Structure 1
């Protein structure tokens, strides 16, 4: 909802989901900020997101402005559209049309927006520690809200409020995934396989993906979740040198590769740059009394 100044304010429905990160209280809107009963106050940024982080500096791994710009350009070009479609298909099967969807490590909000398009009454909440990503996520969709938060920490979100949690190439906080999900909720996790971007690894000096990554993921979540199913997705991409450069620059590798050297190495690959996209999309259900419903 917009304010008198035109600034987008958090929706009434979001306020039923969020909690104060400093005490158990709920939050209300007041004077361009969110405030709890104990008067802990959190400003609403002019870009529309709310940062609930207090007393902590931005995470070292948070996306920079350049990383967010590169990611936005790459995703808008459609190279990961098959992945977005897979998430949409699963989301519409797993969640009701009026779901509360949480995206942990939402980045620009690209995948959250795709899911919200398919769930006409849903509320989306993207959590991320990057101010630059939050600015994009806050305007990714009319029903998407963005909140600044470190997803490794306990979330300022009510217990059992979410129908669906998305986790796409982002840190995994198993205890919080489990806590915020409803009894019949679902967790969707996307990880790259060892074949992802394999053509770029040696020429560009990228780190290899652990071939046992999916196995480690299941072990990490096993205490609180049961693995329901997995969708494998692999397809070729034909990229321009600019796309290939942006693909690397939008990832954590951007912290370790000199931009000029990256452009030189990509230029040596020729045109077009043919690259494999390869992902695993896994569905998890909560264990315990809340996870006993039969799988969809």
Structure 2
């Protein structure tokens, strides 16, 4: 695993530093107290302790997401994140260009709830000096995230719990349609770092909600996001990004299958309702991208 990422990881049991070890062809991360965490042959490391409280997205949901994202349908989100990351990490990029060996020349970008890693990969493509860590509770997702980009490291972790990262180790945090752990995000984010949060806007997928019986966007979503970060972060800016998609019936089914409505939708009933929509199906993608800094930090604080 890339040493620049491993150096910022911490043992989830004792919080000591981790190092990669190879024993009999097996690879693992181990701390000085000999707590050991296997690196799966698919490339991700399991940094959970005890039983996972839930298993995250299923293999079917992850497969649906991978198919939909690879078609470029959510590239508007990836592009917005890449642009915001390029701005947030401009100083780090300049440092890396001047002296690639300098401390901080390779900022760490952490995606908490990374899924397949596609958005993180887009950010790393936009910021060549950065390295990335994909955190997720879903093993099927991490198998894909580990291969999403050469500079991505993937780790199984419950983002509701203590994150397996050193204090102030992270230059940029991504949180896309995922739970927010405000206290832990604050702990791991470096002074001058930024948190980018993507949430659905009120009209996200609005054409499908009533027609297919999908879960509606919570009208109090913005208030809930603010509450989850209160006392830890200050919002710098919010932008809304929209794009109209033209989808086939199977693509609509895939879109539903990759999101939270998949847990509440009968596949046979969904297929019947999708057929009634006809083709093509026009669907609005609408998301809010919030940029946050640590509470008490000024906009110009260095990372």
Q: TM-score range by the shorter chain?
A: over 0.9
**CA displacement at 1:217 relative to structure 2:** 1.1
**CA displacement at 1:58 relative to structure 2:** 5.5
**CA displacement at 1:271 relative to structure 2:** 0.2
Query: What is the match of residue 191 of structure 1?
Result: 199
Aligned partners of 2:76 and 2:242 also within 8 Å = no
The yes-or-no answer on 1:181 pairing with 2:189 is yes
Query: What is the match of residue 31 of structure 2?
Result: 36
- CA RMSD after TM alignment: 1.3
Give the aligned length: 284
Query: C-alpha distance in 2, partners of 1:64/1:150?
Result: 15
Aligned partners of 1:178 and 1:224 also within 8 Å = yes
1:248 match: secondary structure: helix
Query: What is the match of residue 120 of structure 2?
Result: 112
The yes-or-no answer on 1:19 pairing with 2:25 is no
Aligned partners of 2:186 and 2:233 also within 8 Å = yes
**CA displacement at 1:55 relative to structure 2:** 1.1
1:167 match: secondary structure: strand
**CA displacement at 1:190 relative to structure 2:** 0.2
Query: What is the match of residue 225 of structure 1?
Result: 233
Query: What is the match of residue 63 of structure 1?
Result: 57
Aligned partners of 2:194 and 2:293 also within 8 Å = yes
Aligned partners of 2:191 and 2:301 also within 8 Å = no
The yes-or-no answer on 1:81 pairing with 2:95 is no
**CA displacement at 1:215 relative to structure 2:** 2.5
Query: C-alpha distance in 2, partners of 1:23/1:172?
Result: 23
**CA displacement at 1:82 relative to structure 2:** 1.3
Query: C-alpha distance in 2, partners of 1:84/1:14?
Result: 22
Query: C-alpha distance in 1, partners of 2:274/2:107?
Result: 42
Query: C-alpha distance in 2, partners of 1:259/1:17?
Result: 43
Aligned partners of 2:29 and 2:37 also within 8 Å = yes
Query: What is the match of residue 210 of structure 1?
Result: 218
Unaligned runs of at least 5 residues, structure 2: 94-105
Query: What is the match of residue 3 of structure 1?
Result: none
Moved more, 226-235 or 207-216: 207-216
Q: Normalized against structure 1, the TM-score is what?
A: 0.93
Query: C-alpha distance in 1, partners of 2:301/2:240?
Result: 19
Residue from 150, 174, 178 that aligns with 1:170: 178
**CA displacement at 1:167 relative to structure 2:** 0.1
The yes-or-no answer on 1:269 pairing with 2:277 is yes
Query: C-alpha distance in 1, partners of 2:121/2:45?
Result: 18
**CA displacement at 1:57 relative to structure 2:** 3.0
Query: C-alpha distance in 2, partners of 1:132/1:195?
Result: 30
1:126-156 CA deviation, whole Å, 9 max, x = no partner? 1000000000000000000100000000101
**CA displacement at 1:50 relative to structure 2:** 0.2
**CA displacement at 1:295 relative to structure 2:** 8.0
Unaligned runs of at least 5 residues, structure 1: 1-9
Aligned partners of 1:99 and 1:119 also within 8 Å = no
Moved more, 260-269 or 119-128: 260-269
**CA displacement at 1:17 relative to structure 2:** 1.0
Query: C-alpha distance in 2, partners of 1:34/1:137?
Result: 18
Query: C-alpha distance in 1, partners of 2:154/2:204?
Result: 29
Query: C-alpha distance in 1, partners of 2:58/2:282?
Result: 27
Query: C-alpha distance in 2, partners of 1:178/1:210?
Result: 25
